[in-house]
Chain A
Amino acid sequence: KNQVEQSPQSLIILEGKNCTLQCNYTVSPFSNLRWYKQDTGRGPVSLTIMTFSENTKSNGRYTATLDADTKQSSLHITASQLSDSASYICVVSYNTNAGKSTFGDGTTLTVKP
């Protein structure tokens, strides 16, 4: 069964600090891995997307890594801001015609002043 597990479930950090979110998957065959940010009451917004051959991808203060051998990904947030408070969702696609993906339950990040 295709699964995506994220940890921790929730995280509280102080503004300006860094943090790392984890994603482990058992999806096969692997197509790509995406990280989304979802603010409360809104739809998810894409942060990064990585294919099998990519092991790191950055988007401003967000850096995602991928280890396809161990089937693990991480999202590192640098110099956190209050606006980073959101749910971060890891998504793994297993259908190359863009049909289907497996979503993680997300990590809820709270950044406090």
Chain B
Amino acid sequence: DAGITQSPRHKVTETGTPVTLRCHQTENHRYMYWYRQDPGHGLRLIHYSYGVKDTDKGEVSDGYSVSRSKTEDFLLTLESATSSQTSVYFCATIPGERATYTDTQYFGPGTRLTVL
């Protein structure tokens, strides 16, 4: 699992509240990703990071922001949670300091978020 942990693993919150999910890796990986997984949609990329303070948007970034102030942590923030953001969120990393086109992403265990 490339030493990836996610916290919290489960969270229930109310509409309109801010929520921050944390992805932590201990192996100095450069690339980190946040995905959401919903029935009928597969995994969809929210944001990704290619280094400290270097981030970019994925295909479903609206309503989400990220920060990466340290190599080991990639934070995903829902600025004002909505029911449509109820989902399972996965963090992933690519081992090594420089990814190549043959890269394999390793996924964390996931965070189940419910927005009431």
Q: Mark B91-112, 1 if CB is under 8 A from A, else 0.
A: 0101000011111111111100
Of B40, B56, B106, the contact of A99 (CB 8 Å cutoff): B56
B90 touches A (CB below 8 Å): yes
B14 touches A (CB below 8 Å): no
How many angstroms between the C-alpha atoms of A44 and B50 in the bound complex? 21
Point out which of A44, A49, A93 has the most chain B C-beta atoms below 10 A from its C-beta: A44
Give B104 Cβ to nearest chain A Cβ, in Å: 5
Near A by CB (< 8 A), chain B positions 1-51 give 1, 31, 40-45, 48, 50
Give the number of residue pairs across the A-B interface with Cβ within 8 Å. 61
B58 touches A (CB below 8 Å): yes
Point out which of A43, A101, A103 has the most chain B C-beta atoms below 10 A from its C-beta: A43
How many angstroms between the C-alpha atoms of A12 and B66 in the bound complex? 40
Q: Which A residues form the contact surface with B (CB < 8 A)?
A: 4, 31-32, 34, 41-46, 49, 51, 89, 91, 93, 96-101, 103-106
